[in-house]
Amino acid sequence: MNDRQATGSPVTDPPPADLLTVSDLHVDYAGRPAVRGVSLSLRRGEILGLVGESGSGKSTLCSAITGVLPAGARVRAAGLRFDGRELTELPPEDMRRIRASRIGVVPQRPMTSLSPSTPVLRQMRWYHDGHDLADLLAQVGLRAVLDRPRDHPHRFSGGQLQRLLIVLAALARQPDLLIADEPTTTLDATVQAQVLRLLLDLRDRLGPAILYVTHDLAVVAQICDRVGVMYAGRLVESGPVSQIFTAPRHPYTRALLAALPARTERGRRLGAMPGHTVAEVTLSRERGARAGSAGCAFAPRCPVVLARCHEEEPTPITMGTDVVRCHRAGETPEAEEDA
Amino acid sequence: MTPVLELDHVTRRFPAGRRQTVHAVEDVSFRIDPGETLAIVGESGCGKSTVARLAVGLLPPTRGAVRIGGVPAGTRMDRETRRQVQFVSQNPWSALNPRKTIGHSVGQPLAVHGLCRSAAERAERVAELLEQVGLPAHYAARRPGGVSGGELQRVTVARALAARPRAIVLDEPTASLDVGVKATVVNLLLDLRSALGLAYVLITHELDIARHLATRVAVMYLGRIVEQGPADEVFSAPRHPYTRMLLAAVPVPDPARRNLVALSGEVPSAVHPPPGCAFHPRCPYVEDACREAVPRLIAVGDRHSACLRDGEIPADAAGGA
């Protein structure tokens, strides 16, 4: 709570529009870049989706924001501002306090995020000892947990545990920022729907900003306000969901959307991304990973590649509500579609 | 016409200690004709993977019969029968021996079924098979470690094709793959189906993949098929309340159509399935009779639904996915 007062109460001093601003963030693992020059911002009450395939740097980006990167990782950023404070300049002690009280994290695998040898209810009480735990649980339809004080995590379903962890992360501490890293990837459709509903309800009631990491574009379409698309450590396109889903500007975003069965007539071949072999992907990723290398990382797989794309890395261009990293972003999509 | 594969009232139970029993698969029947794709969909624990293992003879049924080309399947199955239905598992990393070359793995069914006369002929056939699944022939010399997940899944499909099957049982073939790679595997399955006239049994929880590939679909809940029918009809106008709930839960990749509904409950335990209709504790249309009698799968035309109130429940827009 001290942090909140230190940064000024919202009543006298309205908070800046952006809760989180990441500027030109780089993360290297032992010299190998995992995140390269990512800039993004997040407002209170906003849900930003972060999509990309495995290895694109989504989770590393989240870890950099929460400061839980493994030893050996090196972070450079022009700025990493959270609620008006520069996180990179904070002493570890303050960073810990912010993480504990203002940033909540919902993990991907609920089962491995709890101690297997302690009853779930007791673990809930470690973090939230107030008598209103019953209230919190009732709010998310999990009152029944109170009747199972001796049950360990393995006695609960994945969906129940994930909702309990969301309760821990979001309700008990009421953080300003909630980072959810693939929270529904291991869940079934009907349970996923419950968890997503819960996140939306929490956002509406308590107003935290949510950074939602996923590879599932359908989930992004359903819950996010804005979306950032990552490829080989780069944020290649970001903008409002309506924009990205109706008029994507980056060839990689277009390829991702074309690969979705739901956007293709039944039984027709899907838009397959070119260059899916390990050699092609590695070449493409390596290019993304080589510090100071020339050219666009997506160029080896890009269907609309130009000679220039192999030589010169595109810089982010703002186009309306979108930010795109592509030399051909300014061209009309129609001209590129037949390629 | 003799179906390629037929499950006839198949039940499979497993002991679960303390004299308890898991009712993994209860009274499941279906048949696949050549060239057909039957998707078996449902959530984890519904028994769909057990159906896959029963269908390829990896598990004997507790009751009922599995027939391949009209011949009862099982451990005494002759090679010729066994050859006709092949299996592709969810996880290509564990499906291939990491110490053997890809060529060895793909060539194994050729050796087992005696489909090639010489080593040279086998090598040639392996190269052909790899090409058929879109991999260069020189991949035969590689080991699984040096190959991407999508390519490995192609290798397991090539191995399944080696036996010249009439049907392939695919257990979650795309679940572990990235979006772009998933699309290439779906395309491969489409291409092979039209080139070879293969039948597929597609076991999946990914309803968009099922909708895309299937000609027919069977929806499982707690070990039983609750609805079965032509895929386009089931997906556009689901009859069973569970199918409606399941389809309503699938997010649509279109921000202009936000369809997230509030759903209640979870799949109950298969050790203690609820009495009567297993879905009754979650069903919005439940009535007293549902708590007592297990509804039978009733045919209306070529649609089957196991619901006591089938026909009484108004068609709604729930399944518009």
Q: What is the pLDDT of residues A280-335, one digit of tens each?
A: 666 666 665 555 567 888 888 888 999 999 888 899 999 988 999 999 988 765 54
Is the per-residue pLDDT at A337 higher than 80?
A: no
Order across the sheet with B21-32: list the strands.
Answer: B21-32, B5-15, B63-68, B71-72
pLDDT for the residue numbered A13: 52
Q: Note whether A267 and A339 are same-domain residues.
A: yes
CB < 8 Å from B in window 243-262 of A: 245-246, 255-262
Q: Note whether A146 and A277 are same-domain residues.
A: no
Give the CATH number, domain containing residue A218. Answer: 3.40.50.300
pLDDT for the residue numbered A68: 85
Distance CA B7, CA B67 (A): 6
Distance CA A258, CA B171 (A): 24
Q: Is residue A237 a part of any domain in this protein? A: no
Give, in degrees to the nearest 5, the angle at Cα A304 between A298 and A309: 50
Q: Is residue A233 a part of any domain in this protein? A: no
Q: Is residue A235 a part of any domain in this protein? A: no
Q: Are B107 and B125 in contact (CB under 8 A)?
A: yes
Measure Cα distances from A70 to A66, A230, A273, B131 in Å: 12, 21, 32, 42
Q: Note whether A59 and A99 are same-domain residues.
A: yes
Q: Quick one: CA torsion of B173, B176, B179, B183, rounded to 10 degrees? A: -20
pLDDT for the residue numbered A55: 82
Of the candidates B236, B260, B246, which has an alpha carbon nearest to the alpha carbon of residue B321? B236
Q: What is the pLDDT of residues A243-252, one digit of tens each?
A: 999 999 999 9
The answer to whether residue B118 neighbours chain A at the CB level (below 8 Å) is: no
Q: Note whether A130 and A23 are same-domain residues.
A: yes
Is the CB of B249 less than 8 angstroms away from the CB of A269? no
Distance CA B82, CA B160 (A): 12
Q: What is the pLDDT of residues A143-186, one digit of tens each?
A: 778 888 899 998 888 878 888 888 788 776 789 999 999 888 87
Q: Is residue A231 a part of any domain in this protein? A: no
Q: What residues of chain B lie within 8 A of the CB of A277, using their CB?
A: 148, 151
Q: Note whether A42 and A164 are same-domain residues.
A: yes
| The pairing of beta strand A103-106 with beta strand A177-181 | parallel
Q: Note whether A60 and A102 are same-domain residues.
A: yes
Of the candidates B212, B259, B267, the beta carbon closest to that of A261 is on B212
CA distance B16 to chain A (A): 15
Q: How many CA atoms lie within 13 A of B14 on its CB side?
A: 11
Q: What is the mean pLDDT of residues A218-233?
A: 95
Q: In the listed set A224, A256, A278, which residue is the last one of a domain according to the structure?
A: A224
Q: Note whether A145 and A218 are same-domain residues.
A: yes
Measure Cα distances from A181 to A51, A62, A110, A313 in Å: 11, 8, 11, 29
Most confident of A28-37, A79-88, B222-231: B222-231
The answer to whether residue A111 neighbours chain B at the CB level (below 8 Å) is: no
Q: What is the pLDDT of residues A122-148, one digit of tens each?
A: 888 887 766 677 877 877 777 778 888
Range of the domain at A336: 248-339
Q: Are A106 and A179 in contact (CB under 8 A)?
A: yes
Q: Is residue A266 a part of any domain in this protein? A: yes
Q: Are A203 and A212 in contact (CB under 8 A)?
A: no
Write down the mean pLDDT value for chain A. 84
The answer to whether residue A277 neighbours chain B at the CB level (below 8 Å) is: yes
Q: What is the pTM of this model?
A: 0.87
Q: Note whether A206 and A267 are same-domain residues.
A: no
The widest CA-to-CA distance across chain B, in whole angstroms, is 68
DSSP string, A189-216: HHHHHHHHHHHHHHHHHH--EEEEEES-
Of the candidates B211, B231, B262, the beta carbon closest to that of A197 is on B262
Q: What percent of chain A has pLDDT over 90?
A: 41
Q: Note whether A67 and A142 are same-domain residues.
A: yes
Q: Is residue A335 a part of any domain in this protein? A: yes
The residue ranking higher by pLDDT, A277 or A245, is A245
Q: Which residue from B minimizes the CA distance to A54?
A: B178
Is the CB of B182 less than 8 angstroms away from the CB of A259? yes
Q: Note whether A111 and A195 are same-domain residues.
A: yes
Q: Is residue A230 a part of any domain in this protein? A: no
- List Cβ neighbours of B86 (8 Å cut-off, separation of 6 or more): B56, B109, B159, B160, B161, B163, B165, B167, B168, B169
Q: Which residue from A minimizes the CA distance to B268?
A: A157
Domain count for chain A, please give it: 2
Q: Note whether A209 and A332 are same-domain residues.
A: no
Q: Taking chain B (321 residues) in consecutive chunks of 10 residues, what is each chunk's mean pLDDT? A: 92 88 94 95 90 92 94 80 92 92 96 92 96 93 88 94 96 87 92 95 95 97 96 95 94 90 77 92 93 93 94 63 37
Q: Note whether A220 and A289 are same-domain residues.
A: no
Q: Is residue A117 a part of any domain in this protein? A: yes
CA distance B172 to chain A (A): 13
